[in-house]
Amino acid sequence: MSSGEKPPGRPVPRPLSGGPVKFGPFVLEARLAVGGTAEVYIAHPIDPQAQPRRLVVKRLLPQFLSDPEGRTMFEREAALHAAVHDDNVVKVFGSGVVGDEPWLSMELIDGCDLFRLLRRTTTQGIALGAGLSAHIARAILGALESVHTARDANGAPMGIIHRDVTPSNVYLGTSGSPGR
């Protein structure tokens, strides 16, 4: 990367038409991404004392609101995040329902996803290097171990198998700390 060139980052948030929108205890500032079942927004809590001041709010897509299976998957994700405590797994601060719409509030990672990093290094002919590649792989495996061995509040195995391990779902923080 040449000096002065901006490093790869997260997708550019798209401001909401009409400006920020109140959604339950949050103000949604911009849409960050749309996945197969949910939309992800950069948001801030309405309560000025709430921390963190910026976070991510994930909402189930409208077509899944009346789908029991889609809602169950979303609720199971919330339960899983409550059970997993690992530096390499995004923290979930809370979950709830606004009207008929479930949501999760999660940590906003300052960095980029692995897909964007790999795309940038490939187009520039730069290799990540064995040490960095091993560090990333080890962090991913540690996170997966935490997810796959998660136990519920009663100590029973949750039986979760992460089925969406893709470079676009691996976020690399700029601080150098695992997952941050």
| For the chain, domain boundaries | 14-106, 112-173
Spatial contact of 31 and 40, defined as CB atoms under 8 Å apart:
yes
Distance, in Å, from the CA atom of 38 to the CA atom of 14, rounded to the nearest integer, reads 16
DSSP H or E run through 83: helix 68-83
pLDDT for position 11: 56
Tokens representing 40? 């992800």
Q: Tens-of-pLDDT digits for all 180 residues of the chain? A: 333 444 444 456 777 878 899 999 999 999 988 888 899 999 999 999 999 999 999 999 988 989 988 888 888 888 888 888 899 998 999 999 999 899 999 999 988 899 999 999 999 999 999 999 999 999 999 999 999 999 988 999 988 888 889 998 898 988 765 544
Write out the E strands in the chain: 14-15, 21-23, 26-34, 38-45, 55-60, 92-98, 101-106, 111-113, 171-173
For domain 14-106, give the CATH superfamily: Phosphorylase Kinase; domain 1 (3.30.200.20)
pLDDT for position 176: 63
Identified catalytic residue from 86, 87, 100, 164: 164
Tokens representing 164? 């969406």
Which three-class secondary structure string do you get for 92-143? EEEEEEECCEEEEEECCCCEEEHHHHHHHHHHCCCCCCHHHHHHHHHHHHHH
pLDDT for position 142: 94
Q: Collect contacts of 10-13 with beta carbons under 8 A, ≥24 apart.
A: 10/109, 10/111, 10/112, 10/113, 10/116, 10/171, 13/42
164 is catalytic: yes
pLDDT for position 23: 96
pLDDT for position 36: 82
